[in-house]
Amino acid sequence: MDLLRIERVKARTGLSRSDLYRRVKSGTFPSPIKIGNSRVSVWPSTTVDAWIERQVATANLKEIAP
């Protein structure tokens, strides 16, 4: 598992910084974690990958539904 900083999360998801934090606030994107006592926020790659997989699955279900 990798720990992803905001720039890598943006690159993987295609979302902007403001959209990411808006989704975190609304509960539709995983919250970042703080590293130690620093101000650095990171996302575990597994949580970002799981979110992406759910987005793909949801899109596929919408395409199949009549």
Residue in 28, 27, 36, 33 with CA at minimum distance from that of residue 5: 33
Q: What is the pLDDT of residue 64?
A: 66
Give pLDDT tens digits for 15-61.
999 999 999 999 999 999 999 888 899 999 999 999 999 999 888 77
Which residues 6+ apart lie within 8 Å of 45 measured at CB? 1, 2, 3, 4
| Residue 63 token pair | 């395409």
Q: What is the pLDDT of residue 46?
A: 98
Q: What is the pLDDT of residue 65?
A: 58
Residue in 12, 7, 3 with CA at minimum distance from that of residue 49: 12
